[in-house]
């Protein structure tokens, strides 16, 4: 193994995955013509990305639909063969799909399931025990731990088809982690789940990562997942990396303002608001002000001193807004986003 790869759990250099697809216009004539001649087009799903992830890191992999997130995860899991570039996961070249490599990783896909539909999840667990050759004692121990962390209880014994989406996802995670993988690829694991189930899955992923020191690469459309789990984010769009770094500095770079939300204890005439700073919105007894970082302290001090307040809170702008801005900027072809791009 080259020295450069030794410290990282995941190492990607100039990775590319291009597809040839058939293209035709709409309509009967185009359909008939495409029978004889099928024009091909190259889709650059992943186009020269590089990053490295240390063992035990939790990284959020973000991007709009079709950005190349799932393709990258599949390349890392060895399901796809790269067009060019180098990649190593847990010391292996994924596309060789060696048994030792497959024992070290897992891929959980929120939209696909491996559980046997007609049988209780416990039977899938048992099958995976045989497939991964997990010694009985280790299996019982891991299953016990996962049952406790995921609060599986009786659901592992009920037929899968009778379980709710959230219960099934808990069991999917359990089935995917019985062999105690070192690297977790989670592709939209909370999709379609209610808020409390999302919360409990996030808590679980964090607990698993802390207990076993596993590396986690997560894609999700729910920014709360990313906020709760990932100190670092890699943002990908149209196959290239737009940002790689700390989540906090991404927010600060793109949206340097802080949101100051206040609730008044007595009516305040709206005309007064302009004196304190840039107003984002006001409704009833509530108002939200925007302050640049350097003016925050003085602004908040003035509000506290001069306005009748029942409550005040200071927040970063919602991550959804930050992401929307980042993707819009990328769509306008304004070049790479500012920040720690690789």
Partner 1 sequence: MARRYLRLLGAQLRIAGLVSLQYRADFFTDGLLSLFWLGVNVAPLAVVYGRRETLAGWSFPEALIVIGWFTWLKGILDGAVNPCLTAIVEHIRKGTLDFVLLKPADAQFLVSTAKFAPWRGVDSVGGLLLLAFAFVRLQRWPTPGAVLAALLLLCTAVALLYSLWLIAISVAFWVVRLDNLAFLFGSVFDAARWPVSVFRGAWRFLFTFVIPLAILTTYPSLALLGRLDARTGLFAVLGTLAFFVLARQIWRRAILHYSSASS
- Residue with smaller CB distance to partner 1, 19 or 29: 19
Minimum separation from the CB atom of position 219 to partner 1 (A): 14
Tokens 């029942």 belong to residue: 310
- Residue with smaller CB distance to partner 1, 102 or 309: 102
What the block records as the tokens of 325 is: 């801005």
Return d(Cα 123, Cα 161) in angstroms, integer. 13
Tokens 């060696």 belong to residue: 98
- Residue with smaller CB distance to partner 1, 123 or 285: 123
- For the chain, how big is the Rg over CA atoms in Å? 24
Minimum separation from the CB atom of position 129 to partner 1 (A): 8
- Residue with smaller CB distance to partner 1, 41 or 100: 100
Minimum separation from the CB atom of position 210 to partner 1 (A): 25
Minimum separation from the CB atom of position 126 to partner 1 (A): 7
Question: Rule CB under 8 A: which residues touch partner 1?
Answer: 19, 45, 70-71, 74, 77-81, 95, 97, 99-100, 102-103, 105-107, 109, 112-114, 116, 118-119, 123, 126-127, 130-133
The torsion angles phi and psi of 48, rounded to 5 degrees, stand at 80, 55
What the block records as the tokens of 206 is: 């964090």
Separation in Å, CA 210 to CA 91, 137, 190, 268: 21, 22, 20, 48
What 3-state class would DSSP assign to 32?
helix
Could you tell me which of 56, 105, 75 has the C-alpha nearest to residue 12?
A: 75
Minimum separation from the CB atom of position 99 to partner 1 (A): 4
Contact in structure between 132 and 105 (CB atoms under 8 Å): no
- Residue with smaller CB distance to partner 1, 23 or 263: 23
């Amino acid at each position: 193994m080259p020295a450069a790869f030794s410290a990282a759990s995941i190492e990607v250099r100039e990775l590319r995955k291009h597809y040839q697809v058939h293209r035709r216009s709409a309509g009967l004539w185009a359909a008939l013509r495409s029978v004889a001649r099928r024009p091909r087009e190259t889709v650059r799903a992943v186009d020269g990305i590089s990053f490295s992830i240390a063992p035990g890191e939790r990284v959020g992999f973000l991007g709009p639909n079709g950005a190349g997130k799932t393709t990258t995860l599949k390349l890392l899991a060895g399901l796809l063969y790269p067009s060019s570039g180098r990649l190593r996961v847990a010391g292996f070249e994924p596309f060789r799909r060696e048994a030792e490599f497959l024992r070290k990783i897992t891929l959980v896909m929120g939209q696909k399931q491996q559980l046997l539909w007609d049988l209780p999840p416990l039977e899938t667990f048992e099958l995976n025990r045989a497939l991964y050759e997990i010694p009985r004692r280790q299996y019982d121990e891991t299953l016990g731990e996962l049952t406790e962390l995921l609060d599986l209880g009786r659901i592992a014994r009920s037929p899968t088809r009778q379980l709710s989406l959230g219960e099934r996802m808990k069991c999917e995670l359990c089935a995917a982690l019985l062999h105690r993988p070192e690297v977790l690829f989670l592709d939209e694991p909370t999709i379609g789940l209610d808020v409390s189930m999302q919360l409990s899955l996030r808590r679980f992923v964090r607990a698993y990562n802390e207990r076993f020191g596993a590396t986690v690469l997560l894609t999700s459309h729910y920014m709360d997942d990313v906020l709760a789990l990932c100190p670092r984010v890699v943002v990908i769009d149209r196959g290239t990396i737009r940002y790689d770094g700390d989540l906090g500095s991404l927010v600060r770079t793109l949206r340097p303002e802080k949101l100051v939300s206040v609730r008044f204890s007595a009516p305040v005439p709206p005309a007064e608001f302009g004196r304190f700073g840039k107003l984002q919105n006001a409704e009833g007894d509530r108002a939200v002000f925007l302050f640049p970082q350097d003016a925050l302290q003085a602004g908040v001090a003035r509000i506290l001193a001069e306005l009748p307040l029942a409550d005040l809170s200071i927040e970063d702008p919602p991550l959804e807004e930050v992401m929307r801005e980042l993707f819009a900027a990328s769509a306008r072809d304004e070049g790479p986003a500012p920040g720690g791009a690789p």
